[in-house]
Amino acid sequence: MDVYLVPIGRRRHALYCEPGEEPDAVSVPGREPAGRWKRWTEKFRVVLETVEREHGEADGRDRREVPAGAVARVRTRFMRWLAGAIAEQRLLWRLRGQARVRAFFPQSLDPDLAMTTIRENLASENARHRWWLIVDALGGLVSLALMPFPGPNIPGYYFTFRIVGHLLAIHGARHGLAEVRWELEPCEPLDDLAALADLPAPERERRVASVAARLGLRRLPRFVRRTVLGGA
């Protein structure tokens, strides 16, 4: 598995991996899901497949059109938000079960500092997902009140997706900190992404596209827009 330590601002970096042929995102090595966890993971799969099919996350399409109608617009924005959440957590999901990871870092960065930055990112993600797990678990309890009503329990599906995603992300972050053997490799093109937020939009887009083409990372521009500029 290849991971990239991408500059996203002054002295700030984010971990990124290109989606690949990763295993089932909700499988637990050596154990078949059962009981409540099985029901939750089934709901998780439904939401995941729906988002990737409708938003284009599975094939990297960038859909910006907004359909007519208030309900359709809200649904489209919500699906885009879920697609962003999937993209942000996919790296942590994929870390589970990995024994060795090759980490590319900017050539101008000291290797020891690069490893420290990777570990700080994983520790921060672990803490963040633990906090949001508590928040979304409370929301999931509230959504149980909607179960007697006919029709799909949309809030229930939402909170189930969030809860399962957080649990998998926490497991991935902890595995990355404790079990993964990281192999660092300097990557000169990543240095071209420094200080992107200070560049004019045309130059920024050109530089990101150039780096993405050189590294063969077709979804890197979307990741940079989301992390550096908060775009979708």
pLDDT digits (tens, 9 = 90+) for 95-109: 998 999 999 999 999
pLDDT at position 206 = 92
Distances (CA, A) of 80 to 45, 56, 188, 216, 226: 17, 9, 32, 24, 11
pLDDT at position 2 = 95
* 124-133 confidence digits (pLDDT tens): 999 999 999 9
pLDDT at position 27 = 53
In this prediction, residue 31 has a pLDDT band, given cuts at 50, 70 and 90, of very low
**Quick check: 116 and 15 in contact, CB under 8 A?**
no
What's the mean pLDDT in 197-211? 87
- Phi and psi at 7, nearest 5°, equal -65, 130
